Amino acid sequence: MTIAPAPDSPRAARTPAAALPTADRVLAVVARPGQESEELGGLLYAFRSAGASLSLLCLTRGEASPRNSTGARLEAIRPWELQLAAAVLGIAGLTVGNYPDGRLHRQPMTELADRIHRAIRQHRADLLLIIGPETGGRDDIAIAFAARAGAARAGVPVVARTRPGARGAWTIDLGSDAATARAVQKSAAGAHASQSEALPAVLHRLDLLDGREPLRWLLLPRSVPAQGEVKLLRAGLEDP
């Protein structure tokens, strides 16, 4: 697996297209429990294998899921399942928010951006990892806008897992680590017992991925706006 230099490094322009960005402390931000495993698990394994410490901010408790194989209240059981999955993935720091599941897109974007900015400072993250807005739902789109704004204030780049062929995307190959990475990812997904009905479909989709993970930049350090531009961005995020 190829490791890229930091995007503001003099070597960045010569980085191979299939490289994994370098980072010492990666903060992943997701809308609900399960996404850290199903969507980001392979990349989190790759970053951890490259020596980065991992932290996770999950903004909701996942209570809006239509599935529940346990009978327990989802808002109580899903954060516990997330802790188990985080342990499998090697995530050292975990924060679960109390925003309403399925309604992040209705929250003030500046509030979400502030929450993400606080998490960046708390975990001293030097890279943000999210789900690309082109691949998710309305809550994932809200997170993408908020993550970009919060990271811009902190001077931290944002990279997103996207779909193959997306504009600006490149694909990393997990190489000889692919089988182990997928096994860890599947184990983490299996920790979400309340969602076990969906697990066969999740495992099938992961099998189809093989060792490939598509990425694209949402924000580079050299693209961080000046303070005045940050204010304009914050204002723009509040527009309907």
For the chain, domains (ranges, CATH) are: 21-237 (3.40.50.10320)
DSSP the chain: --EEPPTTSTTGGG--TTPEEP-SEEEEEESSTTHHHHTTHHHHHHHHHTT-EEEEEEEE--TT-S--SS-S-HHHHHHHHHHHHHHHHTEEEEEEEEEPTT-GGGS-HHHHHHHHHHHHHHHT-SEEEEE-TTTS-HHHHHHHHHHHHHHHHHT--EEEE--TT-TT-EEEE-GGGHHHHHHHHHHHHHT-GGGGGGHHHHHHHHHHHTTEEEEEEEE-GGGPPPHHHHHHHHHHHT--
pTM: 0.86
209: confidence class by pLDDT, cuts 50, 70, 90: confident
Q: In the prediction, which pLDDT does 1 show? A: 56
Q: Which two tokens stand for residue 133?
A: 């807005």
Sequence-ordered list of residues with C-beta below 8 angstroms from that of 49, at least 6 positions apart, any chain: 1, 177, 181
pLDDT surpasses 60 at 206: yes
Q: What phi and psi values does residue 191 have, to the nearest 5 degrees?
A: -70, -20
Check the CA dihedral 229-144-175-51 and report its sign: positive
pLDDT exceeds cutoff 70 at 51: yes
Read off the pLDDT of residues 89-120 as tens digits, 9 standing for 90 and up: 999 999 999 999 999 999 999 999 999 999 99
The band of 18, judged by pLDDT with boundaries at 50, 70 and 90, is low
Higher local confidence (pLDDT), 206 or 14:
206
Look at residue 229 and tell me whether its pLDDT is greater than 90: no
pLDDT tens for residues 128-181?
A: 999 999 998 999 999 999 999 999 999 999 999 999 899 999 999 998 999 999
Q: How confident is the model at residue 69 (pLDDT cuts 50, 70, 90)?
A: very high
